[in-house]
């Protein structure tokens, strides 16, 4: 592969401390962070004046192809939303439709500063193709549901292994594959036990929904006489390679289990509010030292993938819930959206902070806008004032994916294809 270098000069850098300087990228790595770097040897020079350079944001819970279901069924109770709208529509999915939906989601994430995501859905080799073409970094997993049916369970094993064999460590290492059992109440103990054994054997991670709704908690208690995290602990499922999405209803004992087992949590405040699932005790989990990350969930229940917006809402939700404006500070949610997310995906040595030797996954945010002026406190402004439209330039794995708000991908083609695919999907219902 031909060597490539990028110099980002004259910018504010969100490193261990916020400082003015320049950053040199060689191939996929950050190789220099200094006050002044020469542009003579760089293939590409980006002027970062008036901008702040942050680590690429990490979205730890998505369903990318659901971007085509955006706005399909809003303002409905969860059972109606799922049973009458989402599941009947998903029954008509195919690989081509999931590819288009994932491509649309990748474009949206890049335009709002996300460089890494963690996804669970279907037709994941088609999703992987979209990720490869977009240049973004992602963990993908086939969503496994067996509902106690042995034939279905064996089919889920087969499909999960097919995706692992075909997609893991592809796209210059940008694509990793995890195992994705949907949730404790939709997966049998046999399936969950197989996932635990296979993940340990292969050295891959696990992505699962846990304790999203009160209904789920009641279901698990009625079935196993234990709460969801207690049940998963009882069967030996929990470890530090597990990322549990939502965790809206954990008890104090469950939070202790989460901490002791090293489980990572993906907090999805917008989706949880929109579906009225509840408010996760994030501030309490943070006090316990649990690793917390941030996710948007799918665009059918959010309805966007804007992690800057998610940060603000995460902070405000905890403050009003606790009647305490000091909880979940701006720096806390920024950590969740960067290094917390990287840690949750086992990538903390590669991404999540701006350091020499780490992967060049970066976003330049334009701080010269009326809604961010006067410019005083960078992290505060990023969390409470900025939004996805302020992202100017995005680099992932040392490749420019967007510059001056212009995607490298053909944005118009992606949008046109998504409109057509959405129409085709709905016409099958």
What digits encode the pLDDT tens for the residues 301-330? 999 999 999 999 999 999 999 999 999 999
The model's pLDDT over 204-263, given as tens digits with 9 standing for 90+, comes to 999 999 999 999 999 999 999 999 999 999 999 999 999 999 999 999 999 999 999 999
The model's pLDDT over 108-119, given as tens digits with 9 standing for 90+, comes to 999 999 999 999
Instruction: Judge whether 239 lies within some domain.
Output: yes
Residues 116, 11 share a domain: no
Instruction: Judge whether 95 lies within some domain.
Output: yes
Largest CA distance in the chain: 68
The pLDDT confidence band at residue 2, using thresholds 50, 70 and 90, is low
The whole model's pTM is what? Answer: 0.97
Residues 317, 206 share a domain: yes
Instruction: Judge whether 422 lies within some domain.
Output: no
CATH number of 374's domain: 2.30.40.10
Q: What is the pLDDT of residue 19?
A: 87
Give the pair of three-digit tokens for residue 76. Answer: 């409905």
- CA-based nearest residue to 231, from 188, 264, 288, 194: 188
CA–centroid distance for 99 within its chain: 18
Name the DSSP class of 56: P
Q: What is the pLDDT of residue 163?
A: 98
Q: What is the pLDDT of residue 82?
A: 85
Give the pair of three-digit tokens for residue 327. Answer: 């909880």
The model's pLDDT over 162-196, given as tens digits with 9 standing for 90+, comes to 999 999 999 999 999 999 999 999 999 999 999 99
φ, ψ of residue 8 in degrees (nearest 5): -105, 115
The pLDDT confidence band at residue 428, using thresholds 50, 70 and 90, is confident
Q: Is the pLDDT of residue 345 over 90?
A: yes
Q: Give the Cα separation of 46 and 39 in Å (integer).
A: 10
Residues 87, 47 share a domain: no
Instruction: Judge whether 326 lies within some domain.
Output: yes
Q: Is the pLDDT of residue 54 over 90?
A: yes
Q: Which residues constitute the domain of residue 296?
A: 57-344
The pLDDT confidence band at residue 384, using thresholds 50, 70 and 90, is very high
Buried b / exposed e over 75-90, threshold 16 CB at 10 Å, is eeebeebbeebbeebb
Residues 109, 47 share a domain: no
Average pLDDT, the chain: 96
Q: What is the pLDDT of residue 355?
A: 96
Residues 135, 51 share a domain: no
Residues 366, 340 share a domain: no
Instruction: Judge whether 241 lies within some domain.
Output: yes
Residues 51, 140 share a domain: no
CATH number of 326's domain: 3.20.20.140
- CA-based nearest residue to 400, from 350, 363, 358: 363
- Torsion over CA of 418, 422, 424 and 428, rounded to 10 degrees? 160
Residues 156, 38 share a domain: no
Q: What count of other Cβ atoms lies within 10 Å of the Cβ of residue 96?
A: 13
Region 350-378 average pLDDT: 95
Number of domains in the chain: 2
Q: What is the pLDDT of residue 429?
A: 77
Residues 61, 49 share a domain: no
Q: Assess contact for 386 and 365: CB atoms under 8 A.
A: yes
Q: What is the pLDDT of residue 159?
A: 98
Instruction: Judge whether 299 lies within some domain.
Output: yes
Name the DSSP class of 69: G
- CA-based nearest residue to 311, from 293, 333, 295: 333
* End-to-end Cα, the chain, rounded Å: 46
Q: Is the pLDDT of residue 1 over 60?
A: no
Q: Give the Cα separation of 113 and 101 in Å (integer).
A: 19
């Amino acid at each position: 592969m031909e060597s490539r270098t990028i110099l980002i000069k004259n910018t504010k850098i969100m490193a261990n401390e916020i400082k003015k300087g320049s950053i040199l990228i060689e191939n996929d790595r950050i190789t220099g962070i200094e006050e002044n770097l020469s542009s003579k040897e760089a293939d590409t020079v980006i002027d970062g004046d008036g901008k702040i350079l942050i680590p690429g944001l990490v979205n730890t819970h998505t369903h990318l192809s659901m971007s085509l279901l955006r706005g399909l069924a809003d303002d409905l109770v969860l059972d109606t939303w799922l049973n009458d709208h989402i599941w009947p529509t998903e029954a008509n999915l195919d690989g081509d439709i999931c590819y288009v939906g994932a491509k649309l989601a990748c474009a949206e994430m890049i335009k709002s500063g996300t460089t890494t995501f963690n996804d669970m859905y279907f037709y994941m080799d088609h999703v992987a193709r979209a990720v490869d073409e977009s240049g973004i970094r992602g963990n993908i997993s086939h969503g496994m549901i067996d509902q106690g049916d042995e034939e279905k369970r064996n089919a889920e094993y087969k499909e999960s292994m097919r995706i692992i064999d075909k997609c893991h460590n592809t796209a210059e290492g940008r694509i990793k594959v995890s195992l994705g059992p949907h949730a404790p109440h939709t997966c049998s103990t046999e399936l969950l036990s197989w996932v635990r054994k296979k993940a340990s054997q292969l050295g891959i991670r696990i992505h699962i929904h846990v304790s999203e709704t009160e209904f789920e908690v009641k279901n698990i208690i009625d079935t196993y006489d234990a709460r969801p995290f207690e049940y998963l602990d009882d069967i030996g499922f929990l470890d530090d390679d597990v990322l549990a999405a939502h965790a809206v209803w954990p008890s104090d004992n469950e939070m202790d289990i989460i901490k002791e087992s090293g489980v990572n949590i993906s907090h999805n405040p917008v989706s949880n509010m929109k579906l009225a699932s509840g408010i996760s005790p994030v501030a309490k989990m943070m006090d316990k030292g649990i690793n917390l990350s941030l996710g948007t969930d799918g665009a059918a229940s959010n309805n966007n993938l804007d992690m800057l917006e998610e940060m603000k809402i995460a902070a405000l939700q905890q403050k009003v819930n606790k009647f305490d404006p000091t909880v979940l500070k701006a720096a806390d949610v920024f950590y969740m959206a960067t290094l917390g997310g990287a840690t949750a995906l086992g990538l903390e040595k590669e991404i999540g902070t701006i350091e020499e030797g780490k992967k060049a996954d970066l976003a330049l945010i334009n701080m010269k806008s009326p809604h961010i002026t006067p410019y005083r406190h960078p992290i505060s402004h990023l969390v409470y004032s900025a939004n996805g439209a302020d992202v100017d330039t995005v680099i992932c794995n040392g490749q420019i994916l967007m510059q001056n708000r212009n995607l490298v991908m053909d944005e118009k083609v992606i949008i046109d294809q998504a409109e057509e695919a959405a129409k085709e999907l709905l016409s099958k219902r």
